[in-house]
Amino acid sequence: MTTATKKRSARAIADVTQGTILATVDIAATPERVFRALTSPEEVMRWWGSEETYRTTGWTVDLRVGGKWRADGRGADGNPFSVEGEFLEIDPPHKLVQTWKPEWDGGHATTLTYRLEPIAEGTRVTVRHEGFAGRSESCRMHAEGWESVLGWLDEHAGSEEASAPSRFFLCRLLPPRPTFAMDMNAEERAVMQEHVAYWTGHLHAGTAIVFGPVADPSGPWGLGVVRVADEAAVRALEAGDPAIRSERGFRYEVLPMLQAVTRG
């Protein structure tokens, strides 16, 4: 068993015999805040990485059980990389389980579990990364990596700047026809079920504030209000929506809100 070098308040232990990593950090923020930092694409790209190591340049997510995720980035040496996986369990804001398959690790898939526990000082984040049996060097390297990652997460989620209000946008999902809500077929109904699961995931992550169908006399349409960094983040959310990806004639209208009053 080896212990990675301690950095900041984050620490990690690699059990190379079992092929398991345990890492933890205490963050001065609520579990809801930390969960949003872990699952919101615009936030992940702000904090995951550093100039001297690598930067995450793209992060796409379908936040539902069975949904896919993918991160793209570029190392300090300029070389690109990617890692992807699938969500196995989602219990906002307490637990997130996903597979982890980095291209640099020979295509091996491992399982990653985040647990977020409320404590007096904020949130204790515990990472369990397993599936490295027989690959001790990869286990050690990932343990060192998790100390850095949890340190970055701590700096981001625990800072006042990270907690500052983002911009709010109103999104309208316009259906292929005015009568869609009344006469959708089985395939279209399946698309809408995926759409609802997609937005539910963003609701749990704190990106979506509210969403649902609007009974417009000229034909129902979908409404969503989101809190994101900028319009580019809304467009990324739009591109990932199963309704848009289905290519069945759905389209978004996105309007920035001049002001938003929320409960907190």
Residue 92 lies in a domain: yes
In percent, the amount of the chain with pLDDT more than 70 equals: 94
Our count of domains for the chain comes to 2
State residue 63 phi and psi, 5-degree precision.
Answer: -80, 80
Domain's final residue, options 115, 135, 163? 163
pLDDT digits 0-9 by tens, 133-163: 999 999 999 999 999 999 999 999 987 545 5
Give this prediction's pTM: 0.68
State the residue range of the domain holding 192: 167-256
**Run of H or E including 78:** none
DSSP state, 105?
A: G
Give per-residue burial for 30-55: e unless 16+ CB within 10 Å, then b: bbbbbbbbbbbbbbbbbbbbeeeebe
In a shared domain, residues 136 and 172:
no
Please report, as a single letter, which amino acid is at residue 132: F
> What is the Cα–Cα distance from 126 to 155, expressed in whole angstroms?
16
Give per-residue burial for 218-244: e unless 16+ CB within 10 Å, then b: eebbbebebbbeeeebbebbbebbbbb
Residue 263 lies in a domain: no
CATH number of the CATH domain containing 17: 3.30.530.20
Q: Both ends of the chain: CA-CA distance in Å?
A: 45
> What is the Cα–Cα distance from 264 to 214, expressed in whole angstroms?
25
pLDDT digits 0-9 by tens, 26-83: 999 989 889 989 998 878 988 999 989 999 998 888 888 999 999 999 999 999 999 9
- Name the token pair of 236: 């990324």
Kindly report the length of the chain: 264
In percent, the amount of the chain with pLDDT more than 90 equals: 69
In a shared domain, residues 88 and 6:
yes
In a shared domain, residues 106 and 24:
yes
pLDDT digits 0-9 by tens, 85-95: 999 999 988 99
